[in-house]
Amino acid sequence: MWLTSEQAQIIVAHARAEVPREACGLIAGNGERAAEIIPIPNAAADPLRAYTMDERRLVEALTQFESRGLELIGLYHSHPNSDPIPSPTDVKQASYPDTPYLIVSLKGGETRFAAWTMRYGKVSEVDLYVGNEPPPEKPSSLSRAQKTAILISGLIAFALLIVVSLSLLPPAPAIPH
């Protein structure tokens, strides 16, 4: 997920304005790039410990996204007093399994971000980039030499498989003269 510095600051300002309550909202965009941050009122019964997005505002925002050619690329909420790690309540209530959940922590006056997907109780960290320039290209995990070595090893293994297979064939029947 890619947020500009300004978009990150909008989320932080919203989170700080809501302290001690948890703030929440939506991130609209295309692909992994955010285009718009939409704060949504927290309608939770206990907004000091959880968040529930106001259903009316949530539906309005999602409808507006579609009319402008945007899609939901993330949800965000704040943890005023804890780390940016999904709480058991966050995991239990996650209802968009393929959409990243951005958490902004304000613990100790320090602002920290982390993004996660939560799919049926399984939590996975999502790459998050904050900056005005496009994120740097991810380097391949394998070097060119490593890729070449894997290819050559595969070819050798295939050749050995053919040789072994041919050696295990029964002898050909004798051809009568």
Pairing of strands 101-105, 112-119: antiparallel
Q: 130: exposed, middle or buried (C-beta count within 10 Å: 0-12, 13-18, 19+)?
A: middle
Structure token pair of residue 28 = 């609209």
55 φψ region: left (φ > 0), alpha (ψ -120 to 50), beta (else): alpha
Active-site annotation holds for 55: no
Q: Are 112 and 102 in contact (CB under 8 A)?
A: no
Among residues 18, 22, 125, 137, the one annotated as catalytic is 22
User: How many other CB atoms sit within 10 Å of the CB of residue 66?
Assistant: 11
Pairing of strands 24-30, 101-105: unpaired
| DSSP codes, 137-160 | PPPPSS-HHHHHHHHHHHHHHHHH
What residues are labeled active site? 22
